[in-house]
Amino acid sequence: MRRIFTVVLFLSYTLSAMAQAKQVANPTRTLFPYGGSVTKEFLRYIIRLTKKDNPKICFIATATGDNPNAIVNWYAISEDLPMRPYFQRSFIASYTEPKTFEENLLSMDAIVVSGGNTLNMMAIWKEQGIDTILRKAYNKGIVLSGGSAGSLCWFLGGTTDSRPRDLSIVKCLGFIQASHCPHYHSELLRKPLYFENILKGKLAPGYAIDDKAGIVFENEKYVKVVAIDDKSNAYYVSVVDGKVDEKLLPVEEIIK
């Protein structure tokens, strides 16, 4: 009887170890783009998405030029939350930066990207190899998030105010094979231009998000919409029978 119990116990431990190994080998790739600026509510939700106690979360503000105000705001928002906040500068010098971008970013549990100038951010990331590192982070299961430029960057592309005068199209990382429009209801020019670009085939069908809403993607698949209030939403915009089709996505959770 004791021998049978030992065998059963051994098999139980073995199956548990195999399940854990499989989870490590095939981590869930998670993205959480939201439409506007980082808030305490969004940050609390990102902490939940990591599924870890006291996670390490890094803020990247390349799109602001590493603006000191963005850095101060990041630490102020995260001050009393159950997390360890970090900031990765993009404008650095070898003399003062002992670790590589890869060493820093791949040690995190989540990475949050700020708003700002999307076009400049993409160019700097490509030149510094940060785009490749973020792909490694994504494949590793590190939660990737951000709003405005920090949400647009994960998609194929969308419109940006990074150039003078008019909103223009920018190509991004393409982790999600769809286009994206942040600030959907807060900036009046966004929606009609997004419609026009999708209708003309300049942009692929994609996801539009209000400032206080966000979308969870897992393994490149849409999972759900969350929002800070009951007035904020997200949409899937495509072309049906030659006309733009705006599909309201249900908000599954109001986060606090």
Q: What is the pLDDT of residues 207-221, one digit of tens each?
A: 999 999 999 999 999
Choosing from 78, 90, 148, 179, which is the catalytic residue?
148
Query: Cα(123)–Cα(173) distance, rounded to whole angstroms?
Result: 11
Amino acid symbol at 86: Y
Q: Where are the alpha helices (DSSP H) in the chain?
A: 2-25, 40-50, 68-78, 101-105, 118-128, 130-140, 149-152, 190-199
- The answer to whether residue 180 is catalytic is no
pLDDT-derived band at 60, boundaries 50, 70, 90: very high
Lowest mean pLDDT among 18-32, 113-127, 147-161: 18-32
Could you tell me which residues are beta bridge partners of residue 246? 237
- What secondary structure letter does DSSP report for 212? T
Structure token pair of residue 201: 């085939």
- The answer to whether residue 179 is catalytic is no
Structure token pair of residue 18: 């195999």
pLDDT-derived band at 180, boundaries 50, 70, 90: very high
What pLDDT does 99 receive?
87
In degrees, rounded to 5, the angle at the alpha carbon of residue 31 between the alpha carbons of residues 159 and 88 is: 85
Choosing from 114, 180, 183, 185, which is the catalytic residue?
183
Query: Cα(246)–Cα(193) distance, rounded to whole angstroms?
Result: 13
What CATH superfamily is the domain 28-254? Class I glutamine amidotransferase (GATase) domain (3.40.50.880)
Does residue 15 have a pLDDT over 80? Answer: no
- Of 23, 49, 154, 151, the C-alpha closest to 110 is 49
Percent of the chain with pLDDT over 70: 91
- Of 162, 159, 101, the C-alpha closest to 135 is 101
Query: Cα(237)–Cα(205) distance, rounded to whole angstroms?
Result: 6
In degrees, rounded to 5, the angle at the alpha carbon of residue 147 between the alpha carbons of residues 77 and 51 is: 65
Residues 116-120 have a mean pLDDT of: 95
